[in-house]
Amino acid sequence: MELENIMESLVAFGSAVVENWPVWTVTLFLIVAAVIDGFELKVPNWLTFPMIVSGWLYSALAASLAGDAWYGGFGGSLLGTAAGLAMLLPLYAIGGMGAGDVKLLAGVGAWLGASHTLHAFCATAIVGAVLAIAMVVARRAWVKHARQLWMILGEILTIRDPEQLASIAAQRKSSMLLLPYGIPIAIGSIAYFAWTGMLV
């Protein structure tokens, strides 16, 4: 009886994966990106560019198969890509985010559209904040990093030139506690997918 229940659960899980394969595809991309970012502190182009382009192709094909104009699906995918870029580009512009992280969220947008990308970004921001605080507490460097945070906020409010902010961030990088942001993007996005039932 127990084996029968296990088999039924596996069949149900397999059916869910097949039915929701686009979300599972994005999930796989995110997991691979998080693992690489954790080890190498960057998300490579060989992963993000195929993720984005395949999202465009999938969206155009899905719209066409549904009887709609392919360019409608492609346009929605482009909008999602732009939304993913727009949410993280400001941080990237001032040196607070890697380009690979920005393109990773753009890949989510290419596959799932602007609305889901916005919600995934919100979940990502919460996860990122929690992980950053946990890292600071674990290293018992709260005072040091609190000072750095206030310094960075002060610079953002007083220095209007993104290039100058990026230069200052690059000089300070060696003394900063670096969080591979591909990890919060993966955890936050997948948690959002699971919470909203997109995986099943």
pLDDT digits (tens, 9 = 90+) for 39-66: 999 999 999 999 999 999 999 999 999 9
What's residue 156's pLDDT?
Answer: 66
Q: Which residue has the tokens 């060696």?
A: 174
What's residue 27's pLDDT?
Answer: 97
Integer Cα distance of 59 and 71 in angstroms: 9
The residue with greater pLDDT, 98 or 153, is: 98
The amino acid occupying position 87 is: M
In this model, does residue 193 exceed pLDDT 80?
yes
Mean pLDDT of the chain: 87
> pLDDT tens across 89-105, in order?
888 877 778 899 999 99
* Secondary structure in 3-state letters for the chain: CHHHHHHHHHHHHHHHHHHCHHHHHHHHHHHHHHHHHHHHCCCCHHHHHHHHHHHHHHHHHHHHHCCCCHHHHHHHHHHHHHHHHHHHHHHHHCCCCCHHHHHHHHHHHHHHHHHHHHHHHHHHHHHHHHHHHHHHHHCCCHHHHHHHHHHHHHHHHHCCCHHHHHHHHHHHHHHCCCCCCHHHHHHHHHHHHHHCCCCC
What's residue 183's pLDDT?
Answer: 96
What's residue 105's pLDDT?
Answer: 97
The residue with greater pLDDT, 6 or 35, is: 35
Sorted by where each begins, the domain ranges of the chain are 13-195
What's residue 142's pLDDT?
Answer: 67
> pLDDT tens across 98-130, in order?
899 999 999 999 999 999 999 999 999 999 999
Query: What is the distance of C-alpha 106 from the center of its chain?
Result: 8
In this model, does residue 14 exceed pLDDT 90?
no
Distances (CA, A) of 28 to 169, 189, 199: 31, 11, 12
Q: What percent of the chain has pLDDT over 70?
A: 84
- Residue 107 contacts residue 186 (beta carbons within 8 Å): no
Mean pLDDT, residues 150-167 taken together: 70
What's residue 13's pLDDT?
Answer: 67
The residue with greater pLDDT, 146 or 81, is: 81
